[in-house]
Amino acid sequence: PPMINLNVDDDVEFVRRTLKVQKRRFDASLVYLTRKFMDLVKTAPDGVLDLNEVATTLGVRKRRVYDITNVLDGIHLIQKRSKNVIQWIGSNLDQVVGKAPEQQNLKDELSDLSAMEEALDELIKDCAHQLFELTDDKENAKYPFNSCITLT
């Protein structure tokens, strides 16, 4: 089965299942479409969108746009103004859309810290090995520093 990466950027290439596929599968996924929908809502004046225009802009059937709007309406983030027009009524869009970069920054920082921890662990291991080699060497037994070094 194909691998799915849930933390993807728009520019990440995915392996296609067959050569007959014209559009990458992720390009039509609900996650991708919802992100693009939220970008449109963020730039819309007063958060008002015409769903016919959204479907055209995203290049999908209106049914897919309705899938998104039905969920957002169900959790009271949008309201229907007319048959094909919605308005965002949720919290400030800058905060909602801005969470992903903050989370990514935290993930990047955690990754950097993990790499640093791993490097320090390697240095500690290397130092312990060198110290062991130094104290274990019979030639070094005659030096006074060897008698005060103890390994724990």
Confidence band, pLDDT 50/70/90 cuts, at residue 151: low
Tens of pLDDT, residue by residue over 99-140, are 566 777 888 788 888 888 888 888 899 988 888 887 777 777
Q: Which residue has the higher pLDDT, 91 or 47?
A: 47
Q: How far apart are CA 144 and CA 147, in angstroms?
A: 6
Structural tokens at position 74: 């169900």
Structural tokens at position 23: 């559009």
H helices present in the chain, as ranges: 30-43, 51-58, 62-74, 93-136, 145-148
Per the prediction, the chain carries an average pLDDT of 75
Residue 81: phi and psi, rounded to 5, are -90, -35
Confidence band, pLDDT 50/70/90 cuts, at residue 147: low
Give the pLDDT score at 17: 41
Tens of pLDDT, residue by residue over 8-54, are 444 334 433 443 444 556 556 888 888 889 889 888 888 899 999 99
Q: What's the pTM value of the predicted model, to 2 decimals?
A: 0.47
Give the pLDDT score at 85: 92
Give the pLDDT score at 32: 86
Is 37 within 8 Å of 58 (Cβ atoms)? yes
Q: How far apart are CA 137 and CA 133, in angstroms?
A: 6
Helices 93-136, 30-43: crossing angle, 10 deg rounding: 120
The rounded percent of the chain whose pLDDT value lies above 90 is 16
Q: Which residues of 71-108 are buried (b: 16+ CB within 10 A; e: fewer)?
A: ebeeeebbeeeeebebebeeeebeeeeeeeeeeeeeee
Nearest alpha-carbon partner for 8 in 100, 81, 74, 110: 100
Confidence band, pLDDT 50/70/90 cuts, at residue 93: low
Give the pLDDT score at 109: 84
Tens of pLDDT, residue by residue over 56-84, are 998 889 999 999 999 998 998 999 998 88
